[in-house]
Amino acid sequence: MKCISWNVNGLRAAVGKGFLDYFTAADADFFSVQETKLQEGQIDLPLPGYHQFWNYAEKKGYSGVAVFAKKEPLSVQYGMGVDEHDHEGRLITLEYPSFYYVTAYVPNSQDKNARLAYRMCWEDDLRAFLGKLDEKKPVIFCGDLNVAHEEIDLKNPKPNIGNAGFTYEERGKFGELLESGFVDSFRYFYPDLTGAYSWWSYRFNARKNNAGWRIDYYLVSKRIADKMSDAKIHTEVMGSDHCPVELDIDL
């Protein structure tokens, strides 16, 4: 089973930069996108052979996630059932007979960490949500999680300590999520690989110089970690300030 997740930073813009060509060539069983920046009816995406699931933010041109799946799920949930979090189009959960597939666009803590307190609340509620799913059946969880977990996960860790995406608080919450029963698929296969990033600033020729951050992930329940065959970061794919990440798993 091939799973791909990509923060497209505006799906209409990405379509204009070859999104559909990549989507078709990838031929994934699940294809998740974050930061669609769409409202319902603003795009007609021809994806034959796929079921489409969209969660839109109430605020126009903001956030938004979608999942395109070859197999129809047993059920679909939009959001996590917490009103405080469910107006920004950040979460979709698909249920299948033997697993849950969840995609998220985790809130950014913003400049001067203006939204860090809210982010901590989100993290706790998300971990509880995923934990309840995991009690029923294994979980595949992906998306732009807006955190570089360890210093190996960004090019310039020291000057970024305390900045959004690399605060001790955010990194700690990611660690708590792993400790609650999840595995970071990429580090499972490549624990010491450096220079592996999924996001680059548009400034300072960051992508050309590979001055990036790894903030896009596939996590899986620990009990299905041995079902994974590979995890990939497709740095060759352009069209966004993020690149797609992939999980290959046999479920």
Here the tokens at position 238 are: 């352009």
Q: Taking a C-beta distance cutoff of 8 angstroms, is the pair 49, 26 a contact?
A: no
Q: What letters, b where the CB count within 10 A reaches 16 and e where it falls short, cover 80-92? A: beeeebeebbbbb
Identify which of 6, 59, 15 has the alpha carbon closest to the alpha carbon of residue 35: 6
What's the rounded Cα separation, in Å, for the pair 36 and 10? 5
Helix (H, G, I), strand (E, B) or coil at 102: strand
What's the rounded Cα separation, in Å, for the pair 170 and 146? 9
Could you say which of 50, 100, 101, 144 is catalytic?
144
Could you say which of 22, 56, 100, 105 is catalytic?
105
Give start and end residues of each alpha helix (H) in the chain: 11-15, 19-26, 116-136, 157-160, 168-179, 185-189
Q: Is 5 left (phi over 0), alpha (psi -120 to 50) or beta?
A: beta
Is 105 among the residues known to form the active site?
yes
Helix (H, G, I), strand (E, B) or coil at 242: strand
Which are the catalytic amino acids? Answer: 105, 144
